Amino acid sequence: MITSLSIKNYALIEKLSIDFSKGFSIITGETGAGKSIILGALGLVLGKRADLTSLKNKEEKCVIEAYFEISKYNLRSFFEANDLDYEDETIIRREILPSGKSRAFVNDSPVNLQELQELSLFLIDIHSQQQTQELSDENVQFKIIDAIADNQKEILEYQTLLKSYKADKATLSSLLKRQGESTKEQEYNTFLLNELVAANLKSGEQEVLEADFEKLNNVEIIKESIDKSLAIANEEQIGVLDNLKEIKIALQKIAPFSIEYHALLERITSLIIEFDDISDELTRCSEKLFNDPEQLDLISQKLQVIFNLQKKHQVNTVDELLEIQNQLENSIFEIGNLEAEIAALTHSIQEKIAVLDTLSDVIHDKREVAVPVLSQKLIAILETLGMPNVRFNIDVNLSPTYFQNGKDEIQFLFSANKGTDFGLLKKVASGGEMSRIMLAVKAILAQYSKLPTLIFDEIDTGVSGEIAIRMGEIMKEMSLTMQIFAITHLPQIAAKGTAHFKVFKSTVDDDTQSELKLLSSEERVVEIAQMLSGTVVSDSALNHAKALLN
């Protein structure tokens, strides 16, 4: 429950601090006095967005602080999950700076608006006239039925599984699309891969083949040149080798006479050894050379295959072709894996569908049991609120579609009078009837779910007299188990509260301010009398006010 609220520099409020008690609190005041300002400030504490128009003095920051007693709300897990310090008396503070920025704190720990909004769901439910129209929304109707059916656990499990199921469906759709696009691509990639595999490529072989091709293609010229070289080198008496040996013999004679001559002898000796080795190598090359047209043709064909593949794949080396071959192998392997992945995902989806269907059936069956209970309770309360002939026709039917809260579709029909056909709430219910139905719904929900502090903002629209008295009694009954606030213009409801606050405007030095005051017993009599008769209070109005209060 909210125990106190302080507001500084917000709208028409310069500074306000008020304490609240448990039970049934009434807030009254003339139209425009500032009741909506109080709710607006409370909305900021609960995570609504703000702007600079919220500031009374644009040069100072706005601070709104609310204290909540939450020991009975089982919120420790929420605080732990959001890394917040838990306190039985939790303080929520909202600050709006002159720059337009806002900050929020829970027990002095900074939080973002989303965290604050999630926490507020456990603290306060503000019911406005606009929310009354939400009764026509199917999601709201399901929430009412599910509270009575105690479906929260099953729906949470269903929603978790549904999220996973939808994610799997999206993934499967993407995989199937890829598979469809890959069919022709796979055929072409397989053709390209087979072509490369058939070529039996090896790293570095192109250079070897090109060298062999040049040898075989020019074997006659090469042999002629080698043989000519050997003849020049080894011909007797006039061959290069013989001449080098003659030079060596000559230098041997003079080598002892000078270091310089000795060095020349060593050099010519080395030259003879090197030249002799070259001659031997030329001889071996000559012996290996032979004309082989068949081998030349094979090498030519292999090189042509390599050149064609390089041209097709727009590369220059065999290593690049081998890399493309590896990529194609991986691509085809991935497509094979894609089929296995699709099969596994399809199986997983089928399993989740089976569980979703089972959960949907459980949720549906529990709703079927809850529907007559809801109808009976609504009728019982509404009969006391001046609707003796009210009837409801609530049908919950299974559909093939997976909705966010199950597979049910709902038809929530209403008839207020005998002889009238059932119709949709938003079409056949008047404003006063909708207000009474909403109050009945809230009263029923209070029996089944631990509602937070509940604020009724003029839920009495369209009612008066004895009906208003009964509405006040229902709210007072609800306040036995929860904190209730009612913003009202009806004295019949105002008289039922255990505490009465008045919102009013005052003028101080040409400055208009809104204030909130807890009324004493005497002030309360006068306030209710004014609600009955206007500004001028008559004795009969005072007596009537006392009678209502008693």
The residue among 474 and 297 whose pLDDT is bigger is: 474
pLDDT at 348 over 90: yes
- Most confidently modeled of 369-373, 383-387, 545-549? 369-373
Predicted confidence at residue 183, as pLDDT, reads: 63
The answer to the question of residue 438 being in a domain is no
Q: Lowest mean pLDDT of 73-82, 88-97, 173-182, 523-532, name the range.
A: 173-182
Domain-embedded: residue 243: yes
Final residue of a structural domain among 284, 314, 337? 337
Asked whether residue 324 falls in the same domain as residue 458, the answer is no
- Residue 422 DSSP symbol: P
Q: What is the pLDDT of residue 495?
A: 93
Instruction: Give me the number of domains the chain comprises.
Output: 2
* Among candidate residues 209, 370, 227, the one with its CA nearest the CA of residue 297: 209
Do 287 and 196 fall into the same domain?
yes
Within 125-204, residue ranges assigned H as helices are 129-132, 138-149, 152-199
pTM, two decimals, is: 0.66
Check whether residue 111 and residue 226 sit in a common domain: no
Asked if the model's pLDDT at residue 455 lies above 80, the reply is yes
**Residue 492: in which H helix or E strand, if any?**
helix 491-494
Q: What is the pLDDT of residue 92?
A: 94
**What is residue 381's predicted lDDT score, i.e. its pLDDT?**
92
183 and 116 in a common domain: no
Is 161 a residue whose pLDDT tops 90? yes
325 and 198 in a common domain: yes
- Pick the last residue of a domain from 337, 360, 377: 337
pLDDT for position 254: 87
H helix or E strand, kind and range, residue 399: strand 391-403
Is the same domain home to 202 and 324? yes
Same domain, 186 and 302: yes
- Which of 289-303, 409-423, 524-538 shows the lowest mean pLDDT across its residues? 289-303
User: Stretch 435-459: mean pLDDT, rounded?
Assistant: 85
Query: At residue 284, does pLDDT exceed 80?
Result: yes
Tell me which residue range forms the domain holding 261.
Answer: 178-337
Residue 70 in domain: yes
Over residues 307-317, the pLDDT tens digits come to: 888 888 888 88
Tens digit of each residue's pLDDT (9 = 90 or more) over 104-158: 999 999 999 999 999 988 888 888 766 677 788 888 899 999 999 999 999 999 9
In a domain, 93, yes or no: yes
Verify that 327 and 184 share a domain, yes or no: yes
Q: What percent of the chain has pLDDT over 90?
A: 34
pLDDT at 321 over 90: no
Per-residue pLDDT tens for 469-501? 999 999 999 988 889 999 998 999 999 999 999
Q: Do 282 and 215 share a structural domain? A: yes
Residue 95 placed within a domain:
yes
- At residue 373, the pLDDT reads 94
Average pLDDT estimate for 349-372: 95
Q: What is the pLDDT of residue 267?
A: 93
Residue-level pLDDT at 129: 66
Decide the pairing of beta strands 484-487 and 453-457: parallel
What integer pLDDT is reported at residue 146 of this predicted model? 93
Edge-to-edge strands, sheet with 124-127:
124-127, 453-457, 484-487, 24-28, 499-508, 511-518
Domain shared by 330 and 474, yes or no:
no
Longest CA–CA span in the chain (Å) reads: 159
Where on the phi/psi map is residue 83: left (φ > 0), alpha (ψ -120 to 50), or beta?
Answer: left
Same domain, 86 and 2: yes
Give burial (CB, 10 Å; 0-12/13-18/19+) of 256. Answer: exposed
pLDDT band for position 525 (cuts 50, 70, 90) = very high
Q: Indicate whether 334 pLDDT > 90.
A: no
Look at residue 428 in the predicted model and tell me its pLDDT: 82
How does residue 184 score in pLDDT terms, banded at 50, 70 and 90? Answer: low
Residues 184-203, buried b or exposed e (16+ Cβ, 10 A)? eebeebeebbebbeebebee
What is the band of 419 on the pLDDT scale with cuts at 50, 70, 90? confident
The answer, yes or no, to whether residue 511 has pLDDT greater than 90, is: no
CA 534, 538, 539 angle in degrees (round to 5)?
145
Q: Is residue 400 part of a domain?
A: no
**What integer pLDDT is reported at residue 149 of this predicted model?**
93
pLDDT at res. 295: 74
Among 337, 364, 386, residue at a domain's last position? 337
How many other CB atoms sit within 10 Å of the CB of residue 11?
Answer: 19
Mean pLDDT (the chain) is 86
444 lies in a domain? Answer: no
CA dist., res. 325 & res. 329, Å (int) = 6
**Same-domain status, 318 and 203:** yes
DSSP strands (E only) in 198-328: none
CATH number at residue 468: 3.40.50.300
- Which of the four pLDDT bands, split at 50, 70 and 90, describes residue 237? low
Q: Is residue 6 part of a domain?
A: yes
